[in-house]
């Protein structure tokens, strides 16, 4: 008797009937099946890319649909099924074709995307974009803010760095909480906290209250940054649309982030308080999108996290950043700066001792001993140091020296982000062709040339062409180094330590941002002139860029042993 197999997509109109599928294994009329399918049917036989009578699929042994007498309902991995073969599977484009045989009657359907993932994609994208836009918009708003508060450069730099300090200290703990209690809960809690503290920041009346609000705002930001991608990934599960969804999410948030300074300038032209107040309705939109969706809680099986080293890390960041901000001045180091530096050094010593002696922190020790990981981490720290420290001074120069209004300052910073967003589109193919660490060296050279140009600027330069050229060059270099450093970290980290490796990298980046803003701002404060700081900023940028390139080369990374080779995929 003939056998019938119905192949259905998510829409009934796309389903079609395939006959003569059985022990004889006739051709499946060139049906192209890709992704996960659900089989329901009766008969004997099996389905999957293996020999008849076997029950193993390489990498997915539990996913083989083995059909016994009666009714079976299993998940079937059917990839590029063009023929039904009775004796030996074929490989097409490097993948094994699937086999479906011995079925008297049945239905093979492709499950649709899990319910609500579209809303989760939008909500997590908006939530993450709020954090990145806020981080860029503050560069434009800080000068009008300081005028209202009557504060000096030290106060401005505390406002700029406070949130980054909090995010750096709390990114890894919130990542652990996300794994233990669920990414959805962590994301929603962080979003509510961020919205509430944004409203408080907008209502601040002096620099002290603003710094305090920015610190607590960083708590919510850390929760969102740590859980957004995890929430999206858990929502999709094993569905075939997850990679494209994550890629879309990453691309869109990168583009939106590149517009942060421009959006901040437009809002600040009306009132600087709007850059905070706008977070409230957008957060409500995100929460509304997530209403009614099922909770996805991870099993509470993870090991207890060590909180002491996080305390040491926070103390170290507070002391070092605070010492730089408070210590810089025309008369040299202020007395209380020595106290802050002492606190920072004690935090650093405690952090190093805790990591080196605590068994729970052995994964971090192992990562820091891996040459490839250290290379990616060093490159990530370098590029975030300079790429955020630069606009903090450029925006101040445009606003105070050239007397530009907030809207113009925001527009002037756009080339930095837009260049970075455009160039990042092509970094994937370049990494496959040349290797990630070659791109780190290339991006480092571009950045070194850009900062060398900055060092040669004298007097009171106009925006066009010198400053614009520096911004474009730095944006280009950052666009190459950031994804390449992430790829090196991923490729150098064992699968079991991917979460820890990414958490340490992200925390280090935030710490580097705070230090970059403090150091470059401290140079301006010490010299008492924004334009005069360009020389020293340029020297620091060149030294760091060349040092990163030499460190990469010294580790022998250019042979591809720690970076992406031509036949390896690019990490998201």
Residue-wise pLDDT tens for the chain (572 aa)?
232 333 333 333 233 333 333 333 332 322 333 333 344 444 333 343 333 332 222 223 223 333 332 333 333 333 223 223 233 334 444 433 333 433 334 444 444 556 678 888 889 989 988 998 998 899 999 999 999 999 888 899 999 999 999 999 888 888 778 877 888 889 999 999 999 999 999 999 999 999 999 999 999 999 998 888 778 877 776 555 666 666 667 667 777 777 889 999 999 999 999 999 999 999 999 999 998 876 655 444 444 667 788 889 889 999 999 999 887 666 666 778 889 999 999 999 999 999 999 888 888 888 888 888 899 899 999 999 999 999 999 999 999 889 999 999 999 999 998 898 888 777 878 887 888 888 999 999 999 999 999 999 887 888 988 999 999 999 999 989 988 888 888 788 776 676 678 788 888 999 999 999 999 998 998 888 887 899 999 999 999 999 999 998 886 544 444 444 433 444 44
The predicted structure's pLDDT at residue 200: 96
378 neighbors 551 (Cβ within 8 angstroms): yes
Query: Tokens standing for 529?
Result: 């002139």
The CA distance from 529 to 87, in Å, is: 79
* Helix, strand, or coil (residue 36): strand
The predicted structure's pLDDT at residue 331: 62
The CA distance from 65 to 57, in Å, is: 10
Candidates 412, 517, 550; CA nearest to 470 is: 412
The CA distance from 127 to 506, in Å, is: 17
The CA distance from 110 to 17, in Å, is: 14
User: What are the distances in angstroms from CA 440 to CA 118, 372, 435?
Assistant: 35, 12, 9
Q: Which residue's structure tokens are 């780190």?
A: 440
106 neighbors 98 (Cβ within 8 angstroms): no
Burial class (CB in 10 A: 0-12, 13-18, 19+), 77: buried
8 neighbors 108 (Cβ within 8 angstroms): yes
Positive or negative: CA dihedral 526, 527, 531, 532: negative
The CA distance from 342 to 557, in Å, is: 36
How many other CB atoms are there within 10 angstroms of residue 229's CB atom? Answer: 20
Candidates 318, 277, 281; CA nearest to 137 is: 277
Give me Rg for the CA atoms of the chain: 27
In which element (H, E) is residue 214 found? helix 207-236
The predicted structure's pLDDT at residue 304: 60
The predicted structure's pLDDT at residue 112: 52
The CA distance from 287 to 123, in Å, is: 7
The predicted structure's pLDDT at residue 432: 79
284 neighbors 171 (Cβ within 8 angstroms): no
The predicted structure's pLDDT at residue 493: 79
The predicted structure's pLDDT at residue 547: 94
The CA distance from 501 to 504, in Å, is: 5
The predicted structure's pLDDT at residue 2: 30
* Helix, strand, or coil (residue 320): helix
φ, ψ of residue 108 to 5 degrees: the values are: -115, 115
70 neighbors 42 (Cβ within 8 angstroms): yes
The predicted structure's pLDDT at residue 296: 58
Give the β-pairing of 4-8 and 103-109. parallel
The CA distance from 379 to 438, in Å, is: 12
| 298 DSSP 8-state letter | -
The predicted structure's pLDDT at residue 108: 43
The predicted structure's pLDDT at residue 549: 93
The CA distance from 48 to 59, in Å, is: 12
The separation between CA 37 and the C-alpha centre of its own chain, rounded to angstroms, equals 31
Q: Which pTM does this prediction carry?
A: 0.76
Query: Tokens standing for 11?
Result: 């829409």
* Helix, strand, or coil (residue 295): coil
The CA distance from 37 to 250, in Å, is: 27
In which element (H, E) is residue 108 found? strand 103-109
Q: What are the beta bridge partners of residue 91?
A: 96
Candidates 452, 423, 419; CA nearest to 546 is: 452
Query: Tokens standing for 66?
Result: 């083995």
């Amino acid at each position: 008797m003939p056998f019938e197999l119905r192949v259905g997509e998510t829409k009934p109109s796309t389903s079609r009937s395939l006959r003569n599928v059985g022990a004889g294994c006739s051709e499946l009329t060139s049906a192209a099946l890709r992704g996960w399918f659900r089989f329901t049917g009766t008969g004997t036989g099996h389905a999957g890319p293996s020999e008849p009578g076997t029950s193993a699929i390489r990498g997915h042994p539990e996913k083989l649909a083995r059909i016994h007498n009666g009714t079976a309902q299993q998940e079937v991995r059917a990839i590029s099924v063009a023929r039904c073969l009775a004796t030996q599977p074929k490989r097409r484009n490097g993948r094994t074709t699937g086999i479906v045989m011995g079925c008297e009657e049945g239905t093979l359907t492709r499950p649709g995307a899990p319910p609500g993932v579209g809303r989760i994609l939008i909500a997590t994208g908006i939530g993450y974009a709020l954090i990145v836009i806020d981080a860029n918009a503050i560069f434009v708003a800080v000068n009008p803010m300081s005028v209202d508060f009557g504060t000096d450069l030290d106060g401005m730099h505390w406002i700029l760095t406070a949130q980054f300090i909090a995010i750096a200290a709390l990114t890894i703990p919130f990542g652990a909480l996300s794994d233990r209690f669920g990414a959805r809960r962590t994301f929603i809690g962080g979003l509510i906290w961020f919205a509430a503290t944004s409203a408080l920041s907008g209502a601040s009346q002096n620099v002290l209250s603003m710094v305090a609000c920015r610190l607590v705002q960083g708590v919510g930001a850390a929760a969102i940054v740590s859980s957004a991608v995890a929430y999206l990934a858990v929502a999709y599960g094993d569905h075939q649309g997850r990679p494209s969804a994550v890629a879309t999410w990453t691309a869109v948030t990168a583009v939106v982030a590149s517009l942060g300074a421009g959006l901040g300038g437009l809002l600040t032209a009306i009132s600087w308080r709007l850059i905070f107040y706008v977070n409230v309705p957008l957060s409500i939109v995100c929460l509304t999108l997530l209403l009614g969706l099922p909770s996805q809680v991870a099993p509470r099986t993870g090991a207890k996290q060590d909180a002491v080293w996080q305390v040491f890390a926070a103390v170290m960041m507070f002391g070092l950043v605070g010492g730089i901000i408070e210590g810089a001045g025309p008369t040299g180091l202020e007395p209380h700066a020595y106290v802050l530096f002492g606190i920072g050094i004690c935090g650093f010593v405690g952090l190093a001792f805790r990591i080196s002696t605590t068994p729970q922190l052995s994964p971090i020790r192992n990562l820091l001993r891996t040459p490839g990981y250290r290379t990616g981490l060093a490159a990530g720290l370098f590029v975030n140091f300079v790429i955020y420290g630069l606009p903090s001074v450029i925006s101040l120069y445009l606003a105070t020296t050239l007397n530009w209004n907030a809207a113009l300052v925001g527009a002037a910073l756009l080339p930095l982000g837009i260049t970075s967003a455009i160039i990042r589109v092509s970094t994937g193919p370049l990494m496959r062709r040349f290797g990630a660490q070659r791109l780190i060296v290339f991006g480092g050279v571009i950045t070194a040339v850009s900062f060398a140009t900055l060092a040669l600027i004298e007097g009171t330069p106009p925006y066009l062409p010198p400053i614009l050229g520096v911004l474009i060059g730095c944006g280009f270099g950052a666009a190459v180094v950031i994804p390449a450093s992430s790829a090196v970290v991923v490729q150098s980290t064992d699968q079991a330590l991917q979460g820890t490796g990414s958490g340490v990298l992200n925390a280090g980046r935030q710490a580097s941002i705070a230090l970059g803003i403090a150091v470059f701002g401290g140079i301006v404060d010490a010299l008492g002139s924004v334009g005069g700081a360009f020389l020293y900023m340029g020297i620091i940028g060149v030294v760091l860029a060349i040092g990163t390139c030499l460190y990469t080369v010294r580790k022998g990374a250019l042979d591809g042993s720690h970076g992406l080779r031509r036949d390896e995929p690019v990490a998201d």
